[in-house]
Amino acid sequence: MIYELFLILPMMLIVLGALMLMLLSHREAPLNRNMLSVLILALAFGLTLSRLGEAHSVFVFEAIFGRSFIVDSFSTLFDLMILGGAMLTLLINHDYFKSRHYFDGDFFALVLFAVFGMMALSHAHELISAFISLEIASLSIYALVGYNSDNPKSREAMMKYVVLGSLAGALFMLGLALIYGATGSTELGAIAAHIAAHPQDAHTMLIIGGFFVMVTLFFKIGAVPFHAWVVDVYHGAPLPVTMLMASTFKIALFAVILRIYLGDFAALGDFWSLPLQILCVLTLIGGSFLALSQSNIKRMLAGSSVVHAGYMLIALNAITLGNFNASESILFYLMSYFISSVGAFGILSFLAAHEHKQLTFEDFKGFGYSHPYLAAMMSIFMLSLAGFPSTIGFLGKFYIFTGAIEAGQIALAALGIFVAFVSIFYYFRLIATMYFYDTPKTEQHFGFDTTTVLILLMAILSIWGGIGTALLPYLPTPDALIELSRHAITSLD
């Protein structure tokens, strides 16, 4: 009992913290509340960290909740990534919060509710709980997307996201009903048992239900053809929210996708493979088109995030074909993408806070001269996102492509590599814009504060992870990360 309480303590902390922030919402200055949220997240992070590495797998309060919530090594790792991601997102936007007036009210409470939803998602072992968790996270994010109500783009983005998201949610419910109809349960273990007990051809309804569930999840990660919202919503949302959606929320979504695919639907891998391959191809190519045609950096990053989702779908497809090792590559990729994209968004947020620009490619002309240090770091992030060797992004892609080749998906891996080449075009375009245009602007002073230090940290991590060494002996190396992921994945069985 006490042990189980201890296990869910981080989640409880987040909810209580969110409630407390709601009460404080009109008393404290936004920056103080930001720090308070970071503190709460850090506490939960520390608590979760203490469990890292020990193998465990417990259904919490089984007497009350049944087998709907599980705490295992897998969810622990994802909790850490979600909490760490949210923490970094809030911290790196410190300057941005300072520069905008609309972050009063319940902004930070909503962020914490979203984080709670994401954590619950990684713990869900039952489809209805998964749905509720997903909706907790989504509803908070809907509100966050439209938080800057003075900005018509922000309002429009929220509207679109709510409408499309509701459709996706409805499809999830429909799929859920079908699955329940076919198997008589919504608990993942029971579904797996049902699949194992019946012959392959008796699963038509279950598979169709599964497709509906998948549509929702693919919608949330922005896979083509469910991607239409991505660019507009990412662009319209306030920068911190965009960061949260692009990196942290995606991590939580892959938690539930991996849990469903690896743990329970694995036996039906044959059915998933072809549709997944089609989605992969569509996502990789469609995302590239999206990213290529943007003139705003934020929109370009939004478009390219679709492509990154495509890379992870390659690995997911390798999993459905039986190469379970590929799941580690997804985890590693999530981390590498997180590091580089948070860094890139961080620079955008820093600039938006200090120079009030639209952040188009035009605005970056001569950036290499006016901000030599930030430009160098931006180049690192672009290189890493493009998957240039000696950055963490390269290793992420390397693991994904080798996983795909091991699973026999050579054509898909080749397409992935081709798309990575295409991505060089739009990522390097920014680097070229920064350095190849002379402007009379004078060099701006580079000051150390929360935002710039964190950007620097991300830049160092990108390189450190790419060289493949632990320059600081107590930080885990990429190999250790892979080891950690493997450990987490095995706890699913």
Interface pick for another protein out of 226, 311, 350, 401 (rule CB under 8 A): 226
Put residue 151 in one of left, alpha, beta given phi > 0 → left and psi -120 to 50 → alpha. beta
In the numeric block, which tokens belong to residue 103?
């972050």
Hey, which residues between 288 and 347 contact another protein (CB under 8 A)? 288-290, 292-293
**Interacting positions 47-106 with another protein (CB under 8 A):** none
Number of residues that bind another protein (CB under 8 A): 47
| C-alpha dihedral sign at 320, 326, 327, 333 | negative
Using rule CB under 8 A, residue 171 touches another protein: yes
CA distance 341 to 348: 11
Among 150, 199, 440, 474, binds another protein (CB under 8 A): 199
Q: Pick the stretch among 80-88, 275-283, 334-342, 409-417 that binds another protein (CB under 8 A).
A: 275-283
In terms of Cβ atoms closer than 10 Å to its own Cβ (0-12, 13-18, 19+), residue 35 is middle
3-state SS, residue 226: coil
In this chain, which of 229, 261, 311, 337 binds another protein, going by CB under 8 A? Answer: 229
Q: With contact defined as beta carbons under 8 Å apart, do 324 and 262 qualify?
A: yes
348 close to 359: Cβ distance less than 8 angstroms: yes
Q: How far is CA 113 from the centre of its chain?
A: 16
Q: What's the CA gap between 490 and 492, in Å, rounded?
A: 5
Residue 245: closest CA among 165, 169, 173: 165
| Phi, psi angles (nearest 5°) of residue 440 | -75, 0
**Window 105 to 164, contacts with another protein (CB under 8 A):** 159-160, 163-164
**Residue 55 CB, nearest distance to another protein (Å)?**
23
Give the nearest distance from C-beta 223 to another protein in angstroms: 9
- The H-or-E segment that residue 221 falls in is helix 204-221
Helices (H), ranges, 392-477: 392-406, 410-435, 450-467
Q: Draw the binding track, 19-48, toward another protein (x: CB under 8 A; -: no contact).
A: ------------------------------
Selected from 27, 201, 442, 445, the binder of another protein by CB under 8 A is 201
Residue 86 or 171 having the CB closest to another protein: 171
Q: Which is nearer to another protein, 13 or 233 (CB)?
A: 233
Rounded to a whole number of angstroms, the minimum distance from the CB of residue 275 to another protein is: 5
By the rule CB under 8 A, 271 interacts with another protein: yes
Interface region with another protein, contact rule CB under 8 A, candidates 30-38, 46-54, 227-235, 357-365: 227-235
Least distance from another protein to the Cβ atom of residue 298, Å:
15
- Least spacing, CB of residue 414 vs another protein, in Å: 15
Residue number with CB closer to another protein (91 or 158)? 158
Instruction: Determine the interface stretch with another protein among 54-62, 102-110, 228-236, 242-250 (rule: CB under 8 A).
Output: 228-236
> What is the number of helices (H) and of strands (E) in the chain?
22, 2
> Of 15, 35, 190, 228, which lies in the binding site for another protein, with binding defined by CB under 8 A?
228
Q: What is the DSSP letter of 72?
A: E
Q: Which of 51, 94, 125, 203 binds another protein (CB under 8 A)?
A: 203
Angle, vertex CA 328, rays to CA 460 and CA 393, nearest 5: 30
Give the integer Cα–Cα distance in Å for 470 and 44: 26
| By the rule CB under 8 A, 265 interacts with another protein | no
Nearer to another protein, 75 or 216 (CB): 216
- The DSSP symbol for 474 reads T
- The two structure tokens encoding residue 204: 């038509």
- Candidates 52, 58, 132, 167; binder of another protein (CB under 8 A) is 167
Contacts of 453 (CB under 8 A, 6+ apart): none
Q: Which of residues 413-472 bind another protein (CB under 8 A)?
A: 422, 425, 467-470
Say if residues 352 and 239 touch (Cβ distance below 8 Å).
Answer: yes
> For residue 291, which of 309, 306, 313, 312 has the smallest C-alpha distance?
306
Tell me whether residue 88 or residue 316 sits nearer to another protein (CB atom): 316
Could you list the residues that contact another protein (CB under 8 A)? 159-160, 163-164, 167-168, 171, 199-201, 203-204, 207-208, 210-212, 214-215, 219, 224-229, 231-232, 271, 274-275, 278-279, 288-290, 292-293, 422, 425, 467-470, 473, 477, 479
